[in-house]
Each structure stands twice: as structure tokens, then as C-alpha cells.
Homo-oligomer: A and B are copies of this chain.
Amino acid sequence: MVLGKVVGTVWATRKDEQLVGMKLQIVQEVTLDYALKDRFVVAVDSVGAGVGEIVLLAQGSSARQTELTRNKPVDAVICAIVDKLDLVITKDEAPATAA
């Protein structure tokens, strides 16, 4: 799964009928320090994540394995809200924690 931050919402009136009623969140990928990367995806929210929260994204066919998204044209789903990361090994091999 990919680590991201919810930064906004997409409004779309005309859409595939299977997407009606789904919340479409804009999730920007983040580093292990929660710094925003350039990459973003639009994801269906299955866990009630709010803007500003750090989340996990499941992508591809795995994004269709929630009750909300099964058999729907959805390729990214928010499947968890992150409380914290326990980072034991960093790039310089020194212990570190990102909360």
C-alpha cells in the first residue's frame, strides 16, 4: 500500500452510475516524514478519512476488495487511517520515529 495525505475532494456530477454516492478524495503521496510528494491519486474513501489525515491506499484490483467498491470502476481506495509509523531503520541506518 502507498502512504498519502488527504488534501481535498473531487466533485463530479456526471459519472458512471456505480460511483454515485462515493466520496472521491484527492490523496497526495507522502514520504516517511509525511512530506508531500508530487504524485497524487483520486481515491474512494472506505474508512471516513478527513482532509489532512495520513492514510494507506490500496490500488489496482485490490482497491475493489472493500464492501463499498466491489465490482466497481475504482482503482484506488483509502483502506486505513495511519496513527503513527515506527521507523527502526532509516536511510542512514540510524533508529528514528515519525509520529
Contact = CB atoms under 8 A, between A and B. Distances in A.
A80 B24 CA distance: 11
Contacts of A47: 14-16
Contact of A82 (B2, B10, B65): B10
Interface in A6-29: 6-16, 18-19, 24, 26, 28
Interface in A53-91: 56, 58-66, 71-77, 79-91
Interface residues of A, number: 61
Interface centre among A6, A63, A75, A91 (most CB of B within 10 A): A75
A40 B48 contact: no
B89 A8 contact: yes
